[in-house]
Amino acid sequence: MQTSSRRNVLITGSNKGIGYSIVETLLAGEKSYDIIATARNTKLGEEAVSTLTKKYPKSTSTLTFHQLDVNDDKSIADLAQWVKTKYGKLDALVNNAAIASWNTNDEEKKNIIKTNFLSVYKLTEKFTPLLSDDGKIINVSSGLGVLDVQAPTLKKALEDEKLTEQKVLDIANNILEYIKDYPGKPVPEGSYPASKALLNTYATKFLINKLKKTQQIYTVCPGLCGTDLNGLTPTKEGEEPSPFGAVRTAEKGAETPVYLINLPFEKNEELNAKFFRDLEIISYQA
């Protein structure tokens, strides 16, 4: 077991995009962490870690790679066991890995829900017992996860006062029924917004009650970033914005997750369980 007094931080999906930028910003920062970068593809993950390690040879943080496929239960279990053996605990879990698509068939819709919610649910449940007494969970969500942009059927179900955790899982497993009346805006298809709404609901209504009173949980909207996830490129000065608006860089998207990682490891009731964008609290509703 590692005896370092530094905090450790695990970021899922960190060989590219926002996850990569979170890792890089931490590595370049003044605070010292034991950073655990993960990716589904071992070769790509190791290459990313090698690139960043060479770029920041004087970093006071350490950077380690471990394979993780969030859709593979064994991969999740192997990573959890490795963290437990190496560190004995986890100080910060950043649930960043996700997929998106706007022109999908039914199977692709189900896969988006699986990757962005059901698998994140399994991973979080696996790691919560390893979370240090003052540890934190940071879910990278989206402004598309707010309730007011969901399909009416899904919105009604998630707002039900009698909603249970099992019901949230049932909704996810039968998502086609709950997004069949999605209005086709602000994005053409409703599975990605639904995946983030499910994640937000799970975190704020159920996961929060499983955490110790001294532990923290946050939700982040990184904004519309130009990454492989959406196939967009950052908007340059003078360029016309995309149909969805101006596109920011992954580095900009990483700012708020890093801000939350760097917050003191002590519960702040004014900030805990809140939804953040650009370092400010926003609404889960609209």
Residue 2 lies inside a defined structural domain of this protein:
no
pLDDT of residue 58: 97
Residue linked to tokens 């190791």 = 46
Which domain, by its residues, includes 237? 7-282
- Its sign, for the CA torsion 193, 195, 197, 199, is negative
Residue linked to tokens 């394979």 = 67
- Where is mean pLDDT largest: 56-65, 220-229, 239-248? 56-65
Residue 245 lies inside a defined structural domain of this protein:
yes
**How far apart (Å, rounded) are the C-alpha atoms in residues 104 and 26?**
35
Considering only residues 5 and 141, tell me which one the structure prediction assigns the higher pLDDT.
141
The residue-averaged pLDDT of 159-166 equals 98
**How far apart (Å, rounded) are the C-alpha atoms in residues 272 and 277?**
14
Residue 141 lies inside a defined structural domain of this protein:
yes
Is the confidence at residue 67, as pLDDT, over 80?
A: yes
Is the confidence at residue 176, as pLDDT, over 70?
A: yes
Q: Are 138 and 93 in contact (CB under 8 A)?
A: yes
Considering only residues 64 and 247, tell me which one the structure prediction assigns the higher pLDDT.
64
**How far apart (Å, rounded) are the C-alpha atoms in residues 282 and 153?**
23
Res. 244 pLDDT band, cuts 50 70 90: low
The total number of structural domains in the chain stands at 1
Cite the beta strand spans of the chain per DSSP E. 7-11, 33-39, 62-67, 90-95, 131-140, 216-220, 275-277, 280-282
Considering only residues 51 and 247, tell me which one the structure prediction assigns the higher pLDDT.
51
- pLDDT, one tens digit per residue, over 24-52 is 999 999 999 999 999 999 999 999 999 99
CATH number at residue 101: 3.40.50.720
Residue 1 lies inside a defined structural domain of this protein:
no
Both tokens of residue 158? 């998630």
Least confident of 13-22, 89-98, 103-112, 219-228: 219-228
Residue 257 lies inside a defined structural domain of this protein:
yes
Helix axes 191-202, 106-113, angle to 10 degrees: 20
For the chain, the residue count is 286
**How far apart (Å, rounded) are the C-alpha atoms in residues 219 and 225?**
17
Which residues, in sequence order, are CB contacts of 99 under 8 Å at separation 6+? 111, 112, 115, 116, 229
Using a 10 angstrom Cβ sphere, with 0-12 exposed, 13-18 middle and 19 or more buried, the burial of residue 144 is buried
